[in-house]
Amino acid sequence: MKKLFVEDLKAGDSVFGELFAVKNYKKTATRNNRPYIDITLSDKTGFIKGKIWSDDMPNCETVEEADVVSVSASIEDFNGAPQAKITNMSKVDKYDLTDFQPSTDKDIEKMFDEITDAASKIKNPQLQKLLQEFLSDKDTVEKFKRGAGGYTVHHDYLGGLLDHTTEMLSYVPAIAKTHSKINKDILTTGVILHDIGKVHEYEVSTSIVITPKLKLLGHIFMGAEMVKRYGEKAGVEEKLLDEILHMILAHQGRIEFGSPVLPKTPEAMVLYRLDDMSAKLNTAFKLLDSGGSDGDLFTSYQRNLETELYRSPYVDDLTNEDIPF
């Protein structure tokens, strides 16, 4: 378990055999042709720039970005910021990923239990079988459990995909109770499966990396393809499978947001709104939590929210626990 984090490092410190992830690694040279390596080390608390000078290169293994390395270094001041002068560096294979990536503060297994529990309550036997195909696909489920919900904007951390999906799932009973014409089985199935294409979209290692598949295909197509495969294997009749596929394809609500079709069923309309609400609220709370000087009433402009946000002075007075519902 890592004990020393980037946020603790300050000029004058010495570091012996501490683990960091390699964020950037570039061989280069000074103006006088003295070779050196420009490197950025990171963990879940931030990053620090570093240098490996030619004298120290023989003691430093050649590494690649996203590797985890054991580092010995002295921390120096460079233009007011700490910088690592690395004297020894070697790659390691055993580490705890959560030291290097922000992760959900919720229990991943408990969240996954919520998904399996909701799936087990589905009454339609075909949809039940469809979800079982997904839930028994071990490799996909492992990626789903630790996957990120996004790259930079919403739920962009380990377990974020599960956080996002279970949050959306938690609204389904209330919606189905209020709107009895909503098909709860279809909505539940759509919520659980809507973002499964993201397991192929982001490679989650020491940093979240967008795979070439995302750039070429996107998570909506990937997810629909997976659901089609699971559905056909489960023997779901074509018309019903089309409705579920429609949920996946329409979940971003608008063509300019990446959905090839607009929501054409009440369940697809709800799914789009739940997805949008979950993403936007996550972005909003992240923005409100991120610093700002004392007394700043508004945050910076956020492109996805298309506005800045107001820091309510009443926020600390609110306690939801006292609200009787």
Buried/exposed 176-199: b ≥16 CB within 10 Å, e otherwise: beeeeebbbbbbbbbbbbbbbbbb
Smaller CB distance to Fe ion: residue 57 or 153? 153
Q: Specify the residue, 236 or 274, whose C-beta has the smaller distance to Fe ion.
A: 274
Neighbour-count burial of 258, counting CB atoms closer than 10 A to its CB (0-12 exposed, 13-18 middle, 19+ buried)? middle
Give exposure, 233-248, as e/b (b: 16+ Cβ within 10 Å). ebebeeebbebbbbbb
Least gap, CB of 252 to Fe ion (angstroms): 6
- Residue 156 lies near Fe ion (rule: CB under 5 A): no
- Select the span of 31-39, 59-67, 126-134, 195-203 touching Fe ion (CB under 5 A): 195-203
Q: Which residues face 20 on adjacent strands? A: 69
Q: Which is nearer to Fe ion, 185 or 195 (CB)?
A: 195
Among 56, 99, 163, 195, contact with Fe ion (rule: CB under 5 A): 195
Give the pairing type, strands 81-92 and 46-53: parallel
Quote the crossing angle between the two packed helices 218-234 and 184-193, to the nearest 10°. Answer: 130
Pick the piece of the chain touching Fe ion (CB under 5 A) from 150-158, 272-280, 292-300, 303-311: 272-280
CB of residue 132 vs Fe ion: minimum separation in angstroms?
22
Asked if 163 touches Fe ion (CB under 5 A), the answer is no
User: What span, in angstroms and rounded, lies between the C-alpha atoms of 244 and 318?
Assistant: 39
Reduced DSSP (H G I as helix, E B as strand, rest coil) percent helix, strand, coil of the chain, to 5 = 45, 20, 35
Tell me phi and psi for residue 87, to 5 degrees. -110, -20
63 vs 108, beta carbon nearer Fe ion: 108
Question: How many residues bind Fe ion, per CB under 5 A?
Answer: 2
**Beta carbons within 8 Å of 173's beta carbon, 6+ residues apart:** 184
**Least Cβ distance, residue 111 to Fe ion (angstroms):** 15
- Shortest distance, position 147 Cβ to Fe ion, whole Å: 11
Regarding 201 and contact with Fe ion (CB under 5 A), the answer is no
Pick the closer one to Fe ion by CB: 50 or 149: 149
* Sign of the torsion angle spanned by Cα atoms 142, 171, 307, 290: negative
Q: How far is the CB of 304 from Fe ion (least distance, A)?
A: 13
Residue placing its CB nearer to Fe ion in the complex, 101 or 259: 259
Tell me the closest approach of the beta carbon of residue 232 to Fe ion, in angstroms.
Answer: 22
Stretch that binds Fe ion, among 37-45, 185-193, 270-278, 298-306 (CB under 5 A): 270-278
Least spacing, CB of residue 195 vs Fe ion, in Å: 4
Shortest separation between residue 243's beta carbon and Fe ion, angstroms: 18
Span interacting with Fe ion, options 106-114, 152-160, 188-196, 200-208, rule CB under 5 A: 188-196
Which one, of 271, 277, 273, 285, lies nearest residue 105 by Cα? 285
Which region among 38-46, 72-80, 271-279, 316-324 touches Fe ion (by CB under 5 A)? Answer: 271-279
Neighbours of 282 (CB within 10 A): 20
CA distance 158 to 128: 27
Query: CB under 5 A: which stretch of 193-201, 229-237, 266-274, 312-320 binds Fe ion?
Result: 193-201
Question: In the complex with Fe ion, which residue's Cβ is closer, 258 or 266?
Answer: 258
Residue 60 pairs in a beta bridge with: 89
Residue 57 structure tokens: 């290169």
Residues in the chain: 325
Of 159, 222, 275, 282, the residue at the interface with Fe ion (CB under 5 A) is 275
What is the binding site for Fe ion (CB under 5 A)?
A: 195, 275
